[in-house]
Amino acid sequence: MANLETIGSVIGNIDDIEKVIIGQMISHEDYNFISKFDNANSDQRKAVLKDNYLQFAKTFFNLMSHIAKDQTLQYILTILDDVLQEDKSRVEIFKEYARRNKESVWAPFLHLLNRNDRFIVNQTSRIIAKIACWSKEPMGTEDLKFYLNWLKDQLRLPLTFCLWCLTFNLAIAEKMNKYNIIPILADNLSESAKEKNLLEKPTEREIIQDHALAMVQCKVLKQLELLEARKFDDPDIVDDLQFLTEKLQESVQDLSSFDEYSSEVKSGRLEWSPVHKSERFWRENAIRLNEKNYELLKILVRLLESSKDPLILSVAAHDLGEYLGGKQLVMQYLAHEDPNVRFEALIAVQKLMVHNWEYLGRQLEKTEPSNDKPSSLVPAKA
């Protein structure tokens, strides 16, 4: 975001705002207002806004739309940011002006996010955030989605760098997969257009194997193939791609069906991979869901409790049915709006009922007296 030194430089370099405004063909009305407003102190600004609050919004919208020179636009945005900071309620001035003129309050700001000047972009982002947070009305869904996606793109590389720094701590590196960090980084790898992707090469075999399985599950190998087809000038990137590819291919060779299943469940991204529908897999591995204090079973239950994705809910319900557990959670999805979720929940409940009848039969057999006399009714021989 903007710092005081940069703001001071912007303001200090514009000694004669009159020449700048006139030179960029601003209307006389807007020029008169901004000249008066710029030379006013805090109390005088309050008086100007009280008498001409709609002109305030109109002038600043016009200036943002018509000014091409970066230095002048930096100055205008700095003034606007200061004005809003003085009184949070002033954000409503822009809302009311936009309402009266049937215009979008966000459009003049959002288009500035595409400017090349970083100061303009950061100041604009600050102003958008203030209007969104301090306004009485929430930001519209589409505008909010655009702004949040823009923020995500801006923060992607800095946050990835922070995570990379943390991996130098072995204790933290061991927990990366536990907190679903690898699937997020895998998404960043596929979405990022930046060439510089950082990689810490661990030496602990168990960590390498655990994290490699998670990356395979997130289809990182396919993304590496696409990246290797590109030409990179940075030798570090080439080395990192080669290292990752080798380690992931090694992990695939050693991958058992249960390793594959375990990695998928831990990633939280369930899909209809072959193991889910394999009777042999469940016959041989259902009991392994009890390992590590029911780790995988707890994850499946958590996904049923928290996920909104119909595919994930369908697969989780199916797997719990195969395990013959999670009855109450599965039954609540019998009324789910998605037909696939309802179907898998119904199948799971049927399996539970069969299991319960078999269990009841075994219990009845155990409770029959062992010294009973033979019944007088003997079935006829065939």
Secondary structure letter of residue 15 according to DSSP: S
Q: Are 264 and 311 in contact (CB under 8 A)?
A: no
* Per-residue confidence band for 146, with pLDDT thresholds at 50, 70 and 90: very high
Q: Does residue 250 register a pLDDT over 70?
A: yes
So what's the pLDDT on residue 236?
82
- Interval 41-49 mean pLDDT: 85
So what's the pLDDT on residue 380?
36
Q: Does residue 193 register a pLDDT over 80?
A: no
So what's the pLDDT on residue 195?
46
So what's the pLDDT on residue 325?
46
Q: Does residue 116 register a pLDDT over 80?
A: yes
Tokens representing residue 132 in the block: 């969104």
Q: Three-state DSSP class for 160?
A: helix
Q: Three-state DSSP class for 268?
A: coil
Tokens representing residue 334 in the block: 């019998």
| Nearest partner of 327 among 308, 349, 310, 311, judged by Cα | 349
Mean pLDDT, the chain, rounded, equals 77
- The residue with tokens 């810490």 is 200
Query: Distance between CA 186 and CA 197 in Å, rounded?
Result: 11
Relative orientation angle of helices 118-134 and 70-86, to the nearest 10 degrees: 30
Query: Distance between CA 3 and CA 40 in Å, rounded?
Result: 23
Q: Are 281 and 261 in contact (CB under 8 A)?
A: yes
Query: Distance between CA 270 and CA 43 in Å, rounded?
Result: 60
Query: Distance between CA 325 and CA 158 in Å, rounded?
Result: 43
For residue 89, give Cα distances in angstroms to 96, 97, 105, 123, 134: 12, 14, 15, 19, 7
Proportion of the chain above pLDDT 70, given as a percent: 74
Query: Distance between CA 95 and CA 21 in Å, rounded?
Result: 25
What tens digit of pLDDT does each residue of 224-234 get? 888 878 877 88
Q: Are 123 and 6 in contact (CB under 8 A)?
A: no
So what's the pLDDT on residue 22?
53
Q: What count of other Cβ atoms lies within 10 Å of the Cβ of residue 219?
A: 12
- Interval 293-317 mean pLDDT: 89
Q: Are 255 and 216 in contact (CB under 8 A)?
A: yes
Q: Does residue 47 register a pLDDT over 80?
A: yes
So what's the pLDDT on residue 95?
92
Proportion of the chain above pLDDT 90, given as a percent: 21
pTM of this structure: 0.53
Q: Does residue 333 register a pLDDT over 50?
A: yes
Secondary structure letter of residue 105 according to DSSP: S
- Interval 16-42 mean pLDDT: 71
So what's the pLDDT on residue 362?
58
Higher pLDDT, 57 or 28: 57
So what's the pLDDT on residue 259?
81
Query: Distance between CA 358 and CA 356 in Å, rounded?
Result: 5
Q: Does residue 191 register a pLDDT over 80?
A: no
Q: Which of 221-225, 298-302, 318-322 has the lowest mean pLDDT?
A: 221-225
* Per-residue confidence band for 112, with pLDDT thresholds at 50, 70 and 90: very high
What tens digit of pLDDT does each residue of 277-289 get? 887 888 788 878 8
So what's the pLDDT on residue 12?
42
Q: Does residue 357 register a pLDDT over 60?
A: no
Tokens representing residue 164 in the block: 């990379």
Length of the chain (residues): 382
Q: Where are the alpha helices (DSSP H) in the chain?
A: 4-12, 17-23, 28-38, 42-66, 70-86, 91-100, 107-110, 118-134, 141-166, 170-175, 181-191, 205-217, 220-228, 235-253, 257-267, 279-285, 291-306, 310-323, 327-331, 339-367
Q: Does residue 78 register a pLDDT over 60?
A: yes
| Nearest partner of 56 among 20, 30, 84, judged by Cα | 30
Tokens representing residue 197 in the block: 């992707």
- Interval 57-77 mean pLDDT: 88
Domains of the chain by start residue, with CATH: 4-139 (no CATH), 158-255 (no CATH), 272-364 (1.25.40.150)
* Per-residue confidence band for 14, with pLDDT thresholds at 50, 70 and 90: very low
Q: Three-state DSSP class for 39?
A: coil
So what's the pLDDT on residue 203?
53
So what's the pLDDT on residue 85?
92
- Interval 71-98 mean pLDDT: 91
So what's the pLDDT on residue 360?
46
So what's the pLDDT on residue 367?
55
* Per-residue confidence band for 117, with pLDDT thresholds at 50, 70 and 90: very high
